[in-house]
Amino acid sequence: MFLRSILSHKHYSSVSFFAPIVAGKMSNHQPRLQTLAQIIPPLTTSLHKGDCGRIATIGGCEEYTGAPYFAASSALRLGVDIAYVVCEKDAAGVIKGYSPDLIVAPYLRSVDNLEQGRTVGHVVQKIETILDKLHAVSVGSGLGNDKRIGECVVGAVKAARDRQLPIVLDADSLALVCDDPGIISGYKNAVLTPNAPEFNRLAKSLNVSTEALDTIEAAQKVAEALGGVTIVRKGPSDVITDGQKTFICEETGGLRRCGGQGDILSGSIAAFLAWGRKYCEGKWKHTGGEINPQDITLLAAYAACLVTRHASFLAYDECGRATQSSDVLEQVDIAFDNKFDALLKAVKPK
């Protein structure tokens, strides 16, 4: 399509360099693309399998199998090396059939499927064997509302925190946070991605009144109430804040609101968080400056919003009203290249 053809790589090669992250209640601020590019691993002959990140999506039940597929596959399309899906037993066969690229672990158990003599603790121990291999985890896509699955996920989130893993909480996992904010409160390696109704329920559970606040201020208040976790308040513009620093992603997206786009965002955030963890470990450095490790979570969330919204725009430009999330997924790698390919060629690894 015409709009897609004009969004070639060359249009993104002349972006100015670093912009500071502004503290306080600053809004309408965007990091420069070169800053975000510092997080992205350079592809070199010295890399080994896993150096570009290993992530997992925890989610998927009998009713919802597409959501975890979208989340994990979006991370792979961005360039993560390995993606696991940790799902309920009844969802595993279906998800395996979607793609041979995913490693599917049928470890979650519903009320109906928890075998006699096994406990939630046993399930969490199985999940921990995967967490030990990861650089980031996304939780909630296609999780459903089964009580036993929820208990397994709460245990997995606590185990991920113990390992200091970056965590993305989306969709049904946000209901678990509403029930017990302590699951994630104060954990600054966490990103929550509520849409408008989910955000309102989250604010209510935290006793945060948002009626007299605009969207940006409300998101900042909720992030503060959760002890500085990063909130991605999805909407016409995505508000990304930890309560002290705020980015606004105003990248043009498509006009379709088909289910599954939030899962693509969740997996994309996990990918950038995994890269951020590897960056902080000193796995690579680009020429042109360094990033404060404390800013990685915000930057990763913003970068994922940027790519996902652009992928949505490209999919809508091609498919129009018929756009589905599978179409958006097909555009994730193109959206990434449009935003970052020229920059990565210009900003060489040290």
What's the pLDDT score for residue 348?
65
What radius of gyration do the chain's Cα atoms show?
19
Which two structure tokens, joined as six digits, stand for 319?
Answer: 């498919």
* Residue 19 pLDDT grade (very low, low, confident, very high; cuts 50, 70, 90): very low
What's the pLDDT score for residue 10?
33
What's the pLDDT score for residue 346?
73
What's the pLDDT score for residue 286?
77
Work out the end-to-end distance of the chain between its first and last CA atoms, rounded to an integer number of angstroms: 38
Average pLDDT over residues 13-24: 36
State the Cα–Cα distance between residues 307 and 316, nearest whole angstrom: 14
H or E element that contains 296: helix 296-319
What's the pLDDT score for residue 9?
36
Q: Is residue 93 within 8 Å of residue 72, measured between CB atoms?
A: no
State the Cα–Cα distance between residues 180 and 190, nearest whole angstrom: 15
pLDDT at 168 over 50: yes
State the Cα–Cα distance between residues 42 and 45, nearest whole angstrom: 10
What's the pLDDT score for residue 80?
98
What's the pLDDT score for residue 292?
92
**Higher model confidence: residue 10 or residue 190?**
190
> pLDDT of 292-340, one tens digit each?
999 999 999 999 999 999 999 999 999 999 999 999 999 999 999 999 9
- Sheet of 54-58, strands arranged across: 103-108, 82-88, 54-58, 136-139, 167-169, 190-192, 230-233, 238-241, 246-249
> pLDDT of 172-231, one tens digit each?
999 999 999 999 999 999 999 999 999 999 999 999 999 889 999 999 999 999 999 999
What's the pLDDT score for residue 345?
80
State the Cα–Cα distance between residues 134 and 214, nearest whole angstrom: 37
What's the pLDDT score for residue 7?
43
* Residue 284 pLDDT grade (very low, low, confident, very high; cuts 50, 70, 90): confident
Q: Which residues pair with 169 in a beta bridge?
A: 139, 192
